[in-house]
Amino acid sequence: MDASERLIESTRELLWERGYVGTSPKVIQERAGAGQGSMYHHFRGKSDLARVAIERSAGEVRAEAERRLAAPGPALERIAAYLRREREVLKGCPVGRLTQDPDVMADPVLRAPLGETFDWLRDRLAAVLAEGRDHGEFDAELDPAATAATIVAVLQGGYVLAKAAGDSAEFDRAVTGVLALLRRA
């Protein structure tokens, strides 16, 4: 990896582990094995680098979802595969955790990818749910948009509960519960 790439990946890791405030340019440079000159050659500063890092993390969250949701098979199976995919649950969601970061939320450029990612995810899940409903997997009354919002919330809340308990089983339990509810819908 070249220095620019190492700086981006180090920033992604640090934002995930420590958040924005706890991530100084110096810590990024140390983790990346890159000097200050290199950092300011490639990026205007910490917030520019954070923007690139957050956009990349948001892109990966979308790509991971798309891989399962675009697969062949019944809607419920695809949604289950997405919810049950391997995750580093106790590290939290690399995108969702940034909503608790006051400096990220105060900066419209850093903040924009967060809302956009969840909007995309909700709309994508709603499309899969509508498809399943049209194929008779769910009853005709199912509201795809509200149900999709519930699923995204279960994921984000599952991370919170797992972190509070120090146990990823809390995430799994919330996912099991929503899948059972969907199976009856």
CB of 117 to its own copies, least distance (A): 8
Query: Which of 3, 167 has the CB closer to its own copies?
Result: 167
Identify residues 119-178 at the interface with its own copies (CB under 8 A). Answer: 119, 139, 141-143, 145-158, 160-161, 163-166, 170, 173-178
Q: Does residue 35 touch its own copies according to CB under 8 A? A: no
CB of 60 to its own copies, least distance (A): 17
- In this structure, are residues 10 and 32 in contact, taking their beta carbons and an 8 Å threshold? yes
The b-or-e profile of 115-148 (16+ CB within 10 A means b, else e) is eebbebbbebbbebbbbbbeeebbeeeeebeebb
Q: Does residue 91 touch its own copies according to CB under 8 A? A: no
Query: Phi and psi for 26 in degrees, rounded to 5?
Result: -65, -45
Among 24, 100, 109, 123, binds its own copies (CB under 8 A): 100
Q: Which of 69, 179, 166, 56 is nearest to 121 (CA)?
A: 69
* Sign of the four-CA dihedral 41, 43, 47, 53: negative
Q: Does residue 81 touch its own copies according to CB under 8 A? A: no
Q: Does residue 59 touch its own copies according to CB under 8 A? A: no
Length of the chain: 185
DSSP state of 101: -
CB of 147 to its own copies, least distance (A): 5
Chain residues binding its own copies by CB under 8 A are 18-19, 21-22, 92, 96-97, 99-102, 105, 111, 114-115, 117-119, 139, 141-143, 145-158, 160-161, 163-166, 170, 173-178, 180-182, 184-185
